[in-house]
Structure 1
């Protein structure tokens, strides 16, 4: 894993109040860095997840629709970002519905060196909590854009994927109800 994140980008990720991760585009999209809110959300330390694909958070959850959307995003340069609820598990085994946002960071030469991701637990969120997260993610993305530009990269996509708060929370509650009927190792 030879990918080095520009210092100002890694510093920004570290200091963000939103759960963030940056993955590479080689080595099975291994995580290159995660921040403290990511660690608090998942229970995993950076040392435990850096170098691994974040699908480790999915364990045995089916996540068919979310996996399909993520594969489309990763496999097609025309998909610049994705936002999808996905069942994840904390280190202690407790499931939660993660509202995953991913965007490609594109270099000036057209290559995509990094994948930027944000996570939010919508399991028990109320509409105002998700709205607060959406605002914070919007601020994060607007502040991140010029930082990424300093490295000659562009944060692809826009805030158009952020929205429909009530539908997202309703879907999370249905997913949690389904999880109550399932057993996971």
Structure 2
């Protein structure tokens, strides 16, 4: 199984330094995690050693619905577009529930084969408050721009990121609007 040391050095450095909760998994098998950063560990309460080699479904729990699970499963198994976002109920190591908004993008090698999945997580429990939406979206936009640049340097390509960002802003705005009613 590939490991964090198999990532291009600039991408590995970026993931480690990012303030956005990031995780990288392979596209093979059960899509095990090969890298997470400190922000991911802070969000979930798990250490890197506890999650490396596992599929992210360990974050699911009693209130995670099949309607939330299925789109994630389909994306991980190659269905759908190259980037997408998924709201899902997740659980921290301490058992506390949070509303996670997961943004996922496939990273392709120079031959056009999807090799990795980059996922960023945002705790939308408190971000449903309007003041947090713009801040989280700005972080996501910068993270995707940075990762795209690093990926290009190493032959990875992320397709459709600009549209993903635009769609994400609209989705977050709709979620905020519907919650304020």
Q: Say yes or no: TM over 0.5.
A: yes
| Alignment counterpart, residue 124 of structure 2, candidates 119, 122, 125 | 122
* Counterpart-to-counterpart distance in 2, 1:114 and 1:37: 20
- Please name the residue that 1:133 is paired with: 136
Query: Partners of 1:59 and 1:171 in 2: how far apart?
Result: 25
CA distance in 1, matches of 2:176, 2:43: 17
Please name the residue that 2:65 is paired with. 63
Aligned-partner Cα distance in 2 for 1:97–1:169 = 13
Q: Match for residue 36 of structure 1?
A: 38
Match of 2:169 in 1: 163
RMSD: 1.9
Structure 1: gaps spanning 5 or more residues: 174-185
TM-score (structure 1 length as normaliser): 0.86
Contact 1:58 1:87 (C-alpha < 8 Å) held by counterparts: yes
Gaps of 5+ in 2: none
TM-score (norm 2): 0.88
**Deviation of the 1:69 alpha carbon:** 1.6
Change (3 A) 1:65 1:161: farther
**CA pair 131-7 structure 1, distance change in 2 beyond 3 A:** same
Aligned residues: 173
Q: 1:26 Cα deviation (Å)? A: 1.7
Q: Which residue of 1 aligns with 2:151?
A: 148
Residue 84 (structure 1) aligns with? 86
> How far does residue 88 in structure 1 lie from its aligned partner after superposition?
0.3
